[in-house]
């Protein structure tokens, strides 16, 4: 018996999802546990596996399309099985749901009943029927209308030649339209302006979420910034010795994470969350580590960092980075941070400021280790330094509290042996 697969809710805040890539096609045999598609949520792009066996009979959402949670994603059943009634019932339920909102579409697919004129056999496409009707998805129709694109000029790649979103996005304007000329008549004067070509990149669900969260953080939390410079000579020597131990690999970032965890234990005012009535002081220390991915940024959380060794922290971070790059990190692994670290030192950035990752009260920006002349015991010598910038929420953290935290952090990083004792 055929089964409907709906767009899953892959995170607690997910309201809609985008099919980034289909890994199976109609007609493929599906085993339980097979990865059907990569779904882009508000937090990450994740693999979606099947909990059913059978044949993929129908794909309801094309690549690049964004739909609400619980929309029809696919249908799996026996090969050759008639699923038309199931599809009709599902579409009817979706129409009923959509009719409760002011703006609605009554069908999964819109048929343009406009007669297309002056189309010969050389220019017509599979999306145009003999009656001159154009099969187009609602989303594709809206985008085409916004861009002023004639649907009759586009070849549809969806089912039965239907025009879908990616067809509109991949459409190339003919050379005669490469530059548009607009004429604006003002005070009886003709003003002609040439507009250069632009290209558009679809805003991912992750990017939308990042933009919203950071905008809220920057506008609601009064940020202030404190910067210190740390001598890294001892840290360099200590790391080299630690990494001589078999099966041990520790990065400078691991050292910084451990040092932050221990400094947070001594300065709990930094490990807080603001609310209107109370300031929550967290007894646990969970540090979020920003990781850049193709579509934006994810922040996996290393939990109870103060109780982990340097090597344990290193293993956890490397595992998270691998999962993030492979799009296998879960929403649960990105929740519950009490403090965040963002490191751009590997890109040669010496100093920068970050926006607080709420509900945290602070975020540490880590710059590159720079070899330069420094003064040591009254003499100018060559040394290695690194700049750290702490962004603080002034609602929960005062300047002196942030400064004392950085002093403690500096002591731990410059003397890594103190983190082992």
Contact 203/210 with Cβ under 8 angstroms? no
Of 52, 125, 223, 394, which one is the catalytic site residue?
394
Cis check for the bond before 359: say yes or no (omega within 30 of 0).
yes
- Total residues belonging to the chain: 421
Give the three-class secondary structure for 319.
helix
Beta strand pairing call for 362-376 and 339-343: parallel
Q: Does the active-site annotation cover 282?
A: no
Cite the beta strand spans of 164-242 per DSSP E: 180-186, 189-195, 223-231
Task: Give the number of other Cβ atoms within 10 Å of residue 150's Cβ.
Answer: 10
**What's the DSSP call for residue 356?**
-
**What's the DSSP call for residue 115?**
P
* Phi, psi for residue 408 in degrees, rounded to 5: -65, -45
C-alpha distances in angstroms, 246 versus 242, 249, 250? 9, 9, 12
Contacts of 220 (CB under 8 A, 6+ apart): 358
Task: Give the number of other Cβ atoms within 10 Å of residue 389's Cβ.
Answer: 19
**What's the DSSP call for residue 270?**
T
Active site residues: 394
């Amino acid at each position: 018996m055929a089964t409907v697969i709906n767009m899953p809710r892959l995170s607690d805040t997910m309201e809609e999802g985008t099919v980034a890539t289909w890994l199976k096609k109609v007609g493929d045999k599906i085993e339980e546990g097979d990865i059907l598609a990569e779904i882009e949520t508000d937090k990450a792009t994740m693999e979606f596996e099947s909990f059913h066996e059978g044949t993929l009979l129908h794909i309801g959402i094309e690549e690049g399309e964004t739909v609400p949670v619980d929309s029809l994603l696919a249908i799996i059943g026996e090969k050759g099985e008639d699923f038309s009634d199931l599809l009709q019932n599902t579409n009817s339920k979706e129409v009923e749901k959509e009719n409760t909102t002011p703006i609605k579409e009554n069908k999964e697919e819109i048929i343009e009943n406009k007669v297309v004129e002056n189309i010969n056999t050389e220019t017509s496409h599979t999306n145009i029927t003999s009656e001159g009707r154009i099969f187009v998805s609602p989303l594709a129709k809206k985008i085409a209308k916004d861009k002023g694109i004639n649907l009759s000029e586009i070849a549809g790649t969806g089912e039965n030649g239907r025009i879908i979103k990616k067809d509109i996005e991949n459409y190339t304007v003919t050379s005669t339209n490469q530059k548009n000329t607009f004429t604006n008549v003002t005070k009886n004067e003709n003003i002609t302006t040439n507009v250069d070509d632009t290209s558009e990149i679809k805003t991912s669900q992750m990017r939308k979420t990042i933009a919203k969260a950071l905008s809220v953080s920057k506008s609601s939390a009064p940020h202030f910034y404190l910067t210190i410079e740390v001598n890294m000579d001892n840290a360099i020597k200590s790391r080299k010795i630690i990494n001589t131990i078999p099966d041990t690999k520790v990065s400078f970032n691991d050292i910084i994470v451990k040092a932050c965890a221990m400094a947070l234990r001594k300065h709990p005012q930094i490990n807080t969350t603001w609310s209107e009535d109370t300031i929550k002081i967290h007894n646990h220390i969970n540090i979020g580590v920003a990781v850049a991915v193709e579509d934006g940024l994810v922040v996996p959380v290393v939990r109870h960092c103060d109780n982990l060794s340097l090597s344990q922290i290193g293993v956890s971070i490397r595992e998270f980075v691998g999962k993030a790059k492979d799009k296998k990190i879960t929403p649960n692994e990105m929740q519950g941070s009490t403090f965040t670290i963002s490191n751009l030192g590997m890109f040669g950035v010496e100093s920068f400021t970050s926006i607080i990752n709420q509900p945290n009260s602070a975020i540490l920006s880590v710059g590159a280790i720079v070899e330069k002349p420094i003064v040591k015991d009254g003499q100018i010598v060559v040394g290695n330094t690194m700049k750290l910038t702490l962004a603080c929420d002034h609602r929960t953290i005062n300047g002196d509290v942030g400064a004392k935290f950085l002093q403690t952090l500096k002591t731990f990083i410059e003397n890594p042996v103190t983190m082992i004792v």
